[in-house]
Chains A and B, each alone.
Chain A
Amino acid sequence: GAVVSQHPSRVICKSGTSVKIECRSLDFQATTMFWYRQFPKQSLMLMATSNEGSKATYEQGVEKDKFLINHASLTLSTLTVTSAHPEDSSFYICSAPSRGNEQFFGPGTRLTVL
């Protein structure tokens, strides 16, 4: 089946630094990818829709200048958390729709900001 990968799987950074998370569709092309954030014991919250060749669409309440999204190619989207702070510590998950009616999720990236 279709596979979506994320890199890194875990990252620890100091407060004030920026962190980039990559999401790749490994065996299919995706003109759209989605980014989610999940806090402990909570459900996934959709942050934004990443669009190849155009600007990302952000959900209400998500700061687009803080969470920069770049859909560089048909198989790669990146999420950059700028000037990260401890409250940005979370589990970040991406997803991509393949042909057909399925959406495949990455394994997630756990970000810890000290």
Chain B
Amino acid sequence: DAKTTQPPSMDCAEGRAANLPCNHSTISGNEYVYWYRQIHSQGPQYIIHGLKNNETNEMASLIITEDRKSSTLILPHATLRDTAVYYCIVRVAGGFKTIFGAGTRLFVKA
């Protein structure tokens, strides 16, 4: 599976959009981009995934660049409960062995 690079930490004001970047320059054509988050002392929670088109669900939006070498997770209106570590992962479909990088620690501040 390809490796990803994320900033170690980010701050966001409550109510504003949180934009979390991820670089995956060595992604293969059959690899998806997945995002998970982990709130302190809990298991990771699935957020969203995509292959090449932008995706949106009730939690977030995923913007993938045309060359697929990077992506951005957008939390449109961050709340204090969104404070967590966010992990960007690339993985083939059906290849559920998930390797976690260091992730981005997002702090949402009032």
Interface residues of A (CB under 8 A from B): 4, 6, 32, 34, 36, 43-46, 49, 91, 93, 95, 97, 101-108, 110
Contact = CB atoms under 8 A, between A and B. Distances in A.
A46 B91 CA distance: 14
A93 B96 contact: no
Interface residues of B, number: 22
Nearest to A49: B97
Interface stretch (B15-23, B60-68, B69-77, B99-107): B99-107
A43 B102 contact: yes
B22 to A, nearest CB: 14
Given A49-B97, A103-B96, A44 B41 contact: no
Main secondary structure of the interface of A (DSSP, over half): strand
A91 B85 CA distance: 15
Main secondary structure of the interface of B (DSSP, over half): loop
Given A43-B103, A101-B93, A107 B43 contact: yes
Contacts of B100: 36, 43-46
B96 A32 contact: yes
Given A32-B96, A101-B93, A103-B96, A91 B46 contact: no
